[in-house]
Amino acid sequence: MSSNTNNIDWSFYKKNGFTPLVNVSGTMTSIGASIMIDDAQSAMRLISPYFIKMHELQSSASKVISELTGSEAGFITASAGAGITLSIAAAMTGKNPGLIEKLPYSDGLKTEVVVQSGHLCNYGGSVDQAIRLSGAKTISFGQSTQVQDHQLYDAINENTVAGLYVVSHHVVEYGQMSFDSFCKVCHEKGVVVIVDAASEYDLKTFINKGADIVIYSSHKFLGGPTAGIVAGSSDLIQASYMQNIGIGRVMKVGKESIFGAIAALHAWKVRDHDAIRNSETNALKLWQKIASSFEGVQADIVDDSTHNPLSRLKISINKELFNSSAASVARALSQCEIPIIVRDHEIELGYFYLDPCNLANGHAEIVSSSLQNVLKSALKKPLSEVDLDKHRNSSIQGYIDWK
């Protein structure tokens, strides 16, 4: 987190044979999501030597989850993705152990989950697959860029078990059904509403507005260990937790991660969010001053698309004026002595972002120096072009090439 005051020990990378990097991409699982806060690290070390009754530990987690989200109950699971699967399974089986043990075999159960087409995104995994892992079936409605209420009414039938609403920078950002409308229609039809809010700061809005289950990530903005936080109505939460005797067993979470997530939640209550925002803003202004000094490079501070209290620097590059593309600049930054990993999900559109939410001491200055050096170098000699089709396939290629 940008609130982390520890200096990075760069020798760690060399000692362990890893590539050093500075993360200005955001809370991305592919590079470790976030810097774990001290409280969470201490909690994980503290509990590790002890045996503990896991139900008691999860009950302790439930209390703090309820306090922070306004839910009736909650528990910790392996990840936010696991939370989606377990929540949908719970909507299908309720608290019936026999049905829970049969999943993903789901004959005779309500199995259809309605989701807006524009919400069926890839977050590193597929939303559709997270649904199907439970034994349920995805029913998309609307078009990717336009959804209307009648389409949800038409999609719901006697086999509909839940509606999933995804809040993410990965989803389509316009023409989508608002959460209020989605929740109203689903509840009018007696359908459980589940919200994937993995990367959201606001822990209360969706419960307050009527969501039955909301899922958050422990290891993103909270700065906890890798884990998912599932909050909601007591019956559905118990049914979700009970999935651990079935499909949830392969998604189990250790005592260290549960206790670390509890510590991260406690720390969230007292964190100085205004001070963090000010620090992030200072970094953005530093980078903006450098980038905007180059002809053909536009640098704009823009707000987060899902309304988190976070801004990013959007760097747009006019290749005709600058002689190098945004994609080639982003790649050059990733090839610096200390690689700078930018947010490049929309790179084919001619821009990338610098996200300040994961800066440790000295990171902002490393980014500014590298950015200036790369842009200066590109002025002297145009950077080699990037194969955008190859870039588009790069995430799967990493798995294919892994040994």
Is the pLDDT score of 309 beyond 90? no
CB environment 134-153: b (16+ within 10 A), e (fewer):
bbbebbbbbeeeebeeebbe
pLDDT greater at residue 39 or residue 175? 39
Instruction: Give the β-pairing of 228-232 and 297-303.
Output: unpaired
% residues pLDDT > 90 (the chain): 70
Q: Does domain 11-32+272-397 have CATH number 1.10.10.1100?
A: no
Question: How far apart, in Å, are the Cα atoms of 30 and each of 34, 123, 124, 341, 369?
Answer: 10, 10, 8, 11, 25
Q: What is the DSSP letter of 393?
A: T
Q: What is the pLDDT of residue 83?
A: 97
Read off the pLDDT of each residue in 229-244 and give the average, rounded to a whole number: 98
Q: What is the mean pLDDT of residues 62-71?
A: 97
Domains in the chain: boundaries: 11-32+272-397, 38-270
**Residue 7's pLDDT band (cuts 50, 70, 90):** low
Summarize pLDDT for 284-293 with one digit per residue, the tens: 999 999 999 9
The rounded distance, in Å, linking the Cα atoms of 36 and 125 is 23
pLDDT at 4: 44
CA distances from 95 to 91, 102, 229, 240, 241 (A): 9, 13, 19, 8, 9
Q: What is the pLDDT of residue 6?
A: 54
The domain over range 38-270 is classified in CATH as 3.90.1580.10: no
* Rounded-to-10 torsion of CA 220, 223, 224, 227: 0
Compute CA distances 239 → 50, 125, 192, whole Å.
28, 24, 13
130-170 per-position pLDDT tens digit: 999 999 999 999 998 899 999 999 999 999 999 999 997 77
Query: For the chain, how many residues are written?
Result: 403
* pLDDT over 50 at 1, yes or no: no
CA 323 to chain centre: 34
Task: State the average pLDDT over residues 291-308.
Answer: 89
Token pair belonging to 300: 């704009």
